[in-house]
Amino acid sequence: MKRIGMLTSGGDCQALNAAMRGVVKSITNAESDVEIYGFLDGYKGLIYGNFRMLTGKDFSGILTKGGTILGSSRTPFKLMREPDENGLDKVEAMKQNYHKLQLDCLVILGGNGTHKTANLLREEGLNVVTLPKTIDNDLWGTDMTFGFQSAVNIATEAIDCIHTTAASHGRVFIVEVMGHKVGWLTLNAGMAGGADIILIPEIPYDIDSVVRKIDERMKNGSRFTILAVAEGAISKKDAKLSKKEYKEKLKKSPFPSVSYEVAKEIQEKGGYDVRVTVPGHTQRGGSPCPYDRVFASRLGSEAGRLILNGEYGFMVGIKNREIIKVPLEEVAGKLKMVSPDASIVKEAKMLGICFGDD
From start to end of the chain, where are the E strands?
Answer: 2-8, 34-39, 51-54, 105-110, 128-132, 172-177, 197-199, 225-230, 274-277, 314-319, 322-327
- How far apart are the C-alpha atoms of 138 and 182, rounded to whole Å? 7
* Sign of the Cα pseudo-torsion (183, 75, 259, 333, in order): negative
Q: Which amino acid appears at position 136 of this protein? A: D
Could you confirm whether 136 is annotated as catalytic?
yes
Strand partners, 162: none
Angle between helices 112-123 and 90-100 (to 10 degrees): 70
Angle between helices 290-308 and 148-169 (to 10 degrees): 160
Question: Cα separations (Å) of 42 from 3, 105, 210?
Answer: 18, 16, 41
Catalytic residue among 136, 138, 196, 292: 136
Angle between helices 290-308 and 16-28 (to 10 degrees): 40
Q: Which amino acid appears at position 50 of this protein? A: N
Q: How far apart are the first and last CA of the chain?
A: 61
For residue 18, give the nearest of 70, 62, 77, 82 by alpha carbon: 62
Strand partners, 227: 174, 197
Strand partners, 302: none
Q: Which residues are catalytic?
A: 136
